[in-house]
Amino acid sequence: MRYEVRRTLIAARDIEIRVRELAAVISEDYADRDLLLICVLKGAAIFWADLCRALSIRCQSDFVAMESYGDATVSQEEPRFTKAAGVAISGRDILIVEDIIDTGHTSALLRRLLLTQSPRSLALCAFLDKAERRQVVTPIEYCGFVIPNAFVVGYGLDFAQQYRHLPHIAVLEGTPEG
Ligand code: IMP
Ligand code: MG
């Protein structure tokens, strides 16, 4: 298969507008709280960078890394931590910042892991929700866009570590070679 990025699904301008809307809602909901953003590397890095700079409230950030995909476009069943949070979670208001919720396994596991550390509250902000693909029920308190079942890249999301730098969300399409 040869993979190509042809179709723009979400334009950079629409992302900018939506991120500002999310930040406004989060700023209101977490005013006078002890907000700790947990950015899930690497896919959420660009979303996190835009989102936290659009917040009008105090917050701290930390980073975790989970592994589920390798270089394939289909999720494996059991995601695992490759980098754990470096700051105390206990008693804090935690907002997980994720790039995309697909089967839901990664986010469900991350929630379970963080809950064992007794946060005061725990919520999830996902840039994209591929709702049709869900295998496990997992709440998404803040969602950027619900998208159809396609493999997407850009705005931090990759295919084999490529395309993260695209300022928009594009659909990755495969064509048989030859
Ligand atoms: P889940 O555990 O199946 O929900 O997978 C979530 C993770 O899979 C995300 O954090 C992404 O890293 C990756 N992923 C799922 N769908 C896509 C996609 O369309 N493009 C890029 N990465 C994806
Ligand atoms: Mg990811």
Q: What burial letters (b/e) apply to 20-44, b meaning 16+ CB within 10 Å?
A: eebbeebeebbeeeebbbbbbeebb
Give the C-alpha distances (Å, rounded to integers) separating 120 from 27, 50, 55, 151: 17, 25, 20, 35
* Among 86, 117, 94, CA closest to 37: 94
pLDDT at 177 over 80: no
Q: Where does the pLDDT of residue 71 fall: very low under 50, low under 70, confident under 90, or very high at 90 and above? A: low
| Gyration radius of the chain over CA positions | 16
Ligand located closest to 105 CA: 1
Among 39, 99, 134, 137, name the best residue to mutate to test ligand 1's pocket (greatest count of ligand atoms within 8 A of Cβ).
99
Mean pLDDT confidence for 98-122 = 95
Q: Where does the pLDDT of residue 84 fall: very low under 50, low under 70, confident under 90, or very high at 90 and above? A: confident
Among 42, 48, 69, 143, name the best residue to mutate to test ligand 1's pocket (greatest count of ligand atoms within 8 A of Cβ).
69
Give the distance (Å) from ligand 2 centre to CA of residue 98.
Answer: 7
- Predicted confidence (pLDDT) per residue in 125-173, tens digit: 999 999 999 999 999 999 999 999 999 999 999 999 999 999 999 999 9
SS3 label, residue 12 = helix
Mean pLDDT confidence for 76-92 = 82
Find residue 64's DSSP bridge partners: 40
**How confident is the model at residue 139, as a pLDDT?**
96
Which atom of ligand 1 is found nearest the CA of 105? 2
User: Is the C-beta atom of 152 inside 6 A of ligand 1?
Assistant: yes
Give the distance (Å) from ligand 1 centre to CA of residue 76.
Answer: 10
User: Is the C-beta atom of 106 inside 6 A of ligand 1?
Assistant: yes
Active site residues: 102
